[in-house]
Amino acid sequence: MTQAFKVAAIQMVSTPEPQQNFDSASRLLGQAAAQGAQLVLLPEYWPILGRHERDKLGHAESDAPGPIQSFMAQLARQHGVWLVGGTLPMAAGSDGKVLNTSLVYDPQGQRVARYDKIHLFSFSRGEEQFDEARTIEHGSQVVTFEAPFGRVGLSVCYDLRFPELYRAMGDCALIVMPAAFTHTTGQAHWELLLRARAIENQCYVLASAQGGLHVNGRRTWGHSMLVDPWGEVMSVWPEGEGLVIGDIDPHRLQYVREGLPALRHRKL
C-alpha cells in the first residue's frame, strides 16, 4: 500500500428513534462516499440514544443479522466502503445487560470483525451521573483487523483513557474511536487524549463522536476528528451532524516512524 486511503468519521446527534438515526447515518455515509471515502466510521450509540439508559436493552441484537446489523451490511455493500459501525447493543450473558459492540464490514457487506467495549464509563459531578456497568457487560478481547492500508485497532469511547489497550494492539496504521463523550469530559480531555494516542502509537486516529444536545437532555461534546501520527489535528467537526474526511498517507506514517523511531526503542 503506497497510495493514500481516504477515511471519514460521521458525527451525529442520535435520538431515541432508530429510524431517524438510520436515515441520518444513510444520508451522511452517502455524502462521505461521494467525497471518495473508502472507510467510514460511525459514532458510539448511533442507532439509538434513548431517553433512559435501559432503552437500549429493547433493541439488543443477537450474534446474527438483526435490523441494525443488516442495515450496516447493506450500507457497506451499497457504497463499496469499509464500514466501522460505531456501536450497537448486542445480547449479553447477564440478564438486564447488553454488550456495547463495534462491528466492521468490508465493501462486500461481509462482517470481518467484532469488538465488545472493554472499559465501562462512570462519572459523577453534580447532576451528571453516569454508570455504564448498570446496563452494559464489559468485553475482554483486544481486536484489530486488516484493511488495505494496514492494521486497524478497534476501541470505543472510555477506552481512550487506557493506553495499555492500544499497546496490546501491536503495530497499527489507524486506531478508530467511536464515542459519545459528555460535554464536560470532552471539553477537558477529548482532543488531548486523541492526540496522545496518535503520538505514542505513531499512527492515525479517526474519532467519530456524538455531538450536540440530545432528546434525553444529555449533551455530548462532538469534535469528531482525524489526527496524524505526529499528533496534528488534520480535520475536525465541532458540533452537530457532519463529516470529517482525510487521507491515511503511508508515506507520512513512514516519515514519522523513521524520524523518531520510538516504537523500536521500547524496552517494556
**pTM, full prediction:** 0.97
CB atoms within 10 A of CB 1: 12
| Per-residue pLDDT, 1 | 59
Question: CB of 60 within 8 A of CB of 100?
Answer: no
Q: Is 183 inside any structural domain?
A: yes
From the list 128, 129, 126, 115, the residue with the least C-alpha distance to 157 is 115
**What span, in angstroms and rounded, lies between the C-alpha atoms of 145 and 173?**
11
| Per-residue pLDDT, 148 | 97
**What span, in angstroms and rounded, lies between the C-alpha atoms of 213 and 156?**
20
Exactly one of 61, 117, 203, 239 is catalytic; which is it? 117
| Per-residue pLDDT, 128 | 80
Whether 44 is catalytic is: yes
Q: Is 264 inside any structural domain?
A: no
Exactly one of 6, 44, 97, 137 is catalytic; which is it? 44
User: The dihedral of CA 7, 13, 17, 23: what is its sign?
Assistant: negative
Q: Is 201 inside any structural domain?
A: yes
Q: What residue numbers bound the domain in which 154 lies?
A: 5-259
Grid cell for residue 48: 439509538
| Per-residue pLDDT, 230 | 98
Domain with residue 222: its CATH number is 3.60.110.10
Q: Is 34 inside any structural domain?
A: yes
Phi, psi of 82 (to 5 degrees): -75, 125
Q: Is 265 inside any structural domain?
A: no
| Per-residue pLDDT, 248 | 98
Report how many domains make up the chain. 1
User: The dihedral of CA 246, 161, 114, 17: what is its sign?
Assistant: negative
List the chain pLDDT tens, one digit each, 268 residues. Answer: 579 999 999 999 999 999 999 999 999 999 999 999 999 999 999 999 988 888 888 899 999 889 999 999 999 999 999 999 999 999 998 778 999 999 999 999 999 999 999 999 999 888 788 889 999 999 999 999 999 999 999 999 999 999 999 999 999 999 999 999 999 999 999 999 999 999 999 999 999 999 999 999 999 999 999 999 999 999 999 999 999 999 999 999 999 999 999 999 999 8
Phi, psi of 102 (to 5 degrees): -110, 125
**What span, in angstroms and rounded, lies between the C-alpha atoms of 155 and 139?**
11
Q: Is 76 inside any structural domain?
A: yes
Exactly one of 56, 157, 172, 203 is catalytic; which is it? 157
Question: CB of 223 within 8 A of CB of 209?
Answer: yes
**What span, in angstroms and rounded, lies between the C-alpha atoms of 164 and 141?**
13
